[in-house]
Amino acid sequence: MLIVSNRNYRRAFFPVVWNFFTSHKDVYISNRVYDEILKLDDDLCEWTKDNYKNRVLSVEDSVVEYARVINYVTSSGKWEAAGYEEWSRDGAKADPWLIACAMKHDLIIVTDENNTGPNGAPTRNEPKIPFVADHFNVKTMNFWSFLDSEHFKAQ
C-alpha cells in the first residue's frame, strides 16, 4: 500500500493521504515489507523510518504459517517453479511472510494486487497476495476499500 501510494499520491501533492496513514495507529507494516522499503533509499524510505519504525510487526513468530503458504504455492499445482520460486527461494520475499503474519494475528492485508490466480493449467506468473491469502481465509482489501472502511474524506 505504501509503495503504490508513493507512486500515485506523492506526499507533496496529496499530504492528506499521508497524514491519514500516520494518524491511524492501527495500521502496521511487517518487518519484511519495512526492510524492502528501506532498500529503496528514497523519500518513501525516509518517511517510513520517521513514521513506522515503532509500528513494525515481526513475522518471525509466523514460521509455521509461512511454511503452510510456501507448501501451498509449491505443491498445489497452480504455479510452475518459474512462478513460485521468487516466493520460496530464500525466505527474503515479503509477500508470503505478510500472508503468514496476517494468518497468525488475524490481520487484514491492504494491497494493490488483484485477486487473480491460475485458471486451469499451472502458470509461470508469480502468485498474487489476494489469491493466496484467500486460500487461507485471510482478508485482503485494496487501497480504496481501506480508505472507505476507515471513513477517509479528503479535506
- This prediction has a pTM of 0.88
CA-CA distance, 92 to 79, in Å (whole number)? 19
Per-residue pLDDT band at 9 (split at 50, 70, 90): confident
- Interacting residues of 74 by C-beta distance below 8 A, sequence separation 6+: 84, 88
**Where would I find the H helices in the chain?**
2-8, 15-23, 31-38, 43-52, 63-75, 81-88, 94-105, 129-135, 143-149
Q: Which domains does the chain have, with CATH numbers?
A: 1-155 (3.40.50.1010)
Give the pLDDT confidence of 24-81 residue by residue, as tens digits.
888 899 998 898 888 887 888 999 999 999 999 999 999 999 999 999 999 999 999 9
